[in-house]
Amino acid sequence: MKKTLFIVTLAVLVLSGCATQSISGFQSFQAHDLNTLLKSGELKQTKDNVFVINDSSSSMSNRYLGADFSGQAELTKLDVEKQILYRINQTIPNIALSSGVRSFGFGPCLDWGYTKLNQTVQSYAKASFAEAINSLNCSSGGTPVAAALTEAKTDLATTSGNIAVILLSDGFNYETSPVPALKKLKEDFGDRLCVYTVWVGNEKDSVGKAALQQLVDIAGCGFSTTASQVATSKGVADFVTNVFFTQSDVRSDSTTKCADISQSGFVDKQGCWVSGVFFDFDQAAIKPDSAKVLNKVINILKQTPLLTIEIQGHTDSKGSTEYNQRLSEKRAVSVRHFLVNKGIADSRLTTMGHGESKPVASNDTDEGRARNRRVIYNRTDR
């Protein structure tokens, strides 16, 4: 009898992993105040619901080796997830919002299920959201993120408006591919739902970054970031801004509609960043001498991982309006393909063709027409 009991106990431990308790309390953190920007009209709310899916599997019991959360010794990856959620909670300004939290793993931390609803979707309040964060008190078991995504359909069934799903994980060792579950979730909620992933991992878990990026790509909207990029007050403020808001044109400097990306290339009269990618007449192919300028674009995108852009193609006035519209779209797509082939996530790039409708120079001269055969960029993350 004792031998049987020992075997059963051992089997349970193997299946669940050893549950590791998270720390109590949080590091000191001074959140950026976004309420001023909200009141001024500079920030326009785009999300009505936030639903957190947290990795509480046994791999999150491992020590976090990054230097960005070194205020307390021996933090686990689960501890870092909770620190990030705490900082997000402190940074969200005063907006009408619904929130919910679900975790995945297995064992006592999840009431012996593969996923647990830690907070039903309800009106957002900092206090109740903090309680949900604190309920993520230990990590154990495998990594059944697919189960959490499947249950999220029921969790979100009564919501209205746009939904931000924030997934925190090391993206490592998923037992079942989460791709079918996410595709089904997208079928149910369509363009209402976007996915934002935060990779909380160590160097040996780096393969997980690609797994999380794949989920964002399937969702078709959102972005991937890392724990280190949301470790500072500014990093968290940028994350919250890019998830929940767009930046309106109600700004003191109305000449910089494309602010913060005019770091290279020609800047047009509206302050929009022109890549220096100019095209031969009736062509959409990128010329060899444009590669150097596009490499500057790539560097800016890599240095600013939350930045998303719309690639806008233009033409001169030669040819019919309909033909030029199609040509401008081809030019935008050509640049997008170049950036994607250099490692920029396709989900960060959208394209738009404006045909001949927005010239920056006279179409009466060869020089003017050459300047109009161009691509410019507009930020879409604000």
- Tens digit of each residue's pLDDT (9 = 90 or more) over 163-212: 999 999 999 878 789 999 999 999 999 999 999 999 999 999 989 999 99
Residue type, position 81, single letter: E
Instruction: Name the pTM for this structure.
Output: 0.65
Sorted by sequence, the CB contacts under 8 Å of residue 9 that are 6+ apart come out as none
CATH code matching the domain that covers 24-247, chosen among 2.60.120.260, 3.30.9.40, 3.40.50.410, 2.30.42.10: 3.40.50.410
Quote the pLDDT of residue 74. 82
Look at residue 254 and tell me whether its pLDDT is greater than 90: no
Element housing 324 (H / E): helix 321-341
| Residue 198 or 378, more confident | 198
- Closest-CA residue to 19 (of 61, 53, 71): 61
> Structural domain boundaries of the chain?
24-247, 266-379
The whole-angstrom separation of Cα 136 and Cα 80 is 12
Look at residue 361 and tell me whether its pLDDT is greater than 80: yes
The whole-angstrom separation of Cα 62 and Cα 326 is 53
- Closest-CA residue to 221 (of 174, 165, 180): 165
The answer to whether 372 touches 316, Cβ cutoff 8 Å, is yes
User: What secondary structure letter does DSSP report for 253?
Assistant: -
CATH code matching the domain that covers 266-379, chosen among 3.30.1330.60, 3.40.50.2300, 2.40.30.270, 3.30.1490.20: 3.30.1330.60
Look at residue 358 and tell me whether its pLDDT is greater than 90: no
- Closest-CA residue to 263 (of 289, 296, 305): 296
3-class secondary-structure state, position 243: helix
pLDDT of 46-80, one tens digit each?
999 999 999 999 999 999 998 888 665 689 999 99
Place of tokens 């995108």: 301
192 burial level (CB within 10 Å; 0-12, 13-18, 19+): middle
